[in-house]
């Protein structure tokens, strides 16, 4: 069940900045649970891109960044590149559902 809401798609020209929102509630993001972002290329497994709200694993470009405000988080991509075209999911924990929960997913298209 996707209790974290994301826009279905965002797009931008190379070099532009795009942001992906992930809206939760007081049972998950708003309760203070960590949020992670995953990138998923077609036909492949998810890959961690941001963890603990705004930390990048080694190998992830610094043009990816995360932020949090209340029950929402955002993933920003600055200097958009063709290789960034993929699906992005946010993930947290929901204490009401007692379950890890994922966002609905956002497809990033580079124009």
Partner 1 sequence: QLQLQESGPGLVKPSETLSLNCTVSGDSISSSSYYWGWFRQPPGKGLEWIGSFYYSETTYYSPSLRSRVTISVDTSKNHISLKLSSAAAADTAVYYCARHLEKPGNFHYYPMDVWGQGTTVIVSS
Summarize as ranges the residues that interact with partner 1 (CB under 8 A).
1-2, 31-34, 36, 38, 44-48, 51-52, 57, 89, 91, 93, 95, 97-105
CB-nearer residue toward partner 1: 44 or 109: 44
Q: What is the largest CA-CA distance in the chain?
A: 41
Residue 55 Cβ vs partner 1, minimum distance, rounded to whole Å: 10
CB-nearer residue toward partner 1: 57 or 70: 57
Residue 13 Cβ vs partner 1, minimum distance, rounded to whole Å: 26
Residue 1 Cβ vs partner 1, minimum distance, rounded to whole Å: 6
Which burial class, exposed, middle or buried, applies to 8 when counting CB atoms under 10 A from its CB (0-12, 13-18, 19+)? exposed
Separation between Cα atoms, residue 73 and residue 22, nearest integer Å: 5
CB 86 within 8 A of CB 40: yes
CB-nearer residue toward partner 1: 17 or 22: 22
4 bridge partner residues: 103
Start-end of H helices in 1-111: none
CB-nearer residue toward partner 1: 45 or 82: 45
């Amino acid at each position: 069940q996707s209790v974290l809401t994301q826009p279905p798609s965002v797009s931008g020209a190379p070099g532009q900045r795009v942001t992906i929102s992930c809206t939760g509630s007081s049972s998950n993001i708003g309760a203070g649970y960590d949020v992670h972002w995953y990138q998923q290329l077609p036909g492949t497994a998810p890959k961690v891109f941001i963890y603990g709200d705004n930390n990048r694993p080694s190998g992830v470009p610094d043009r990816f960044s995360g932020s949090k405000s209340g029950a929402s988080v955002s993933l920003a991509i600055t200097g958009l590149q063709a290789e960034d075209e993929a699906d992005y999911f946010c993930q947290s924990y929901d204490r009401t559902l007692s379950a890890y929960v994922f966002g609905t997913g956002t497809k990033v298209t580079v124009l």
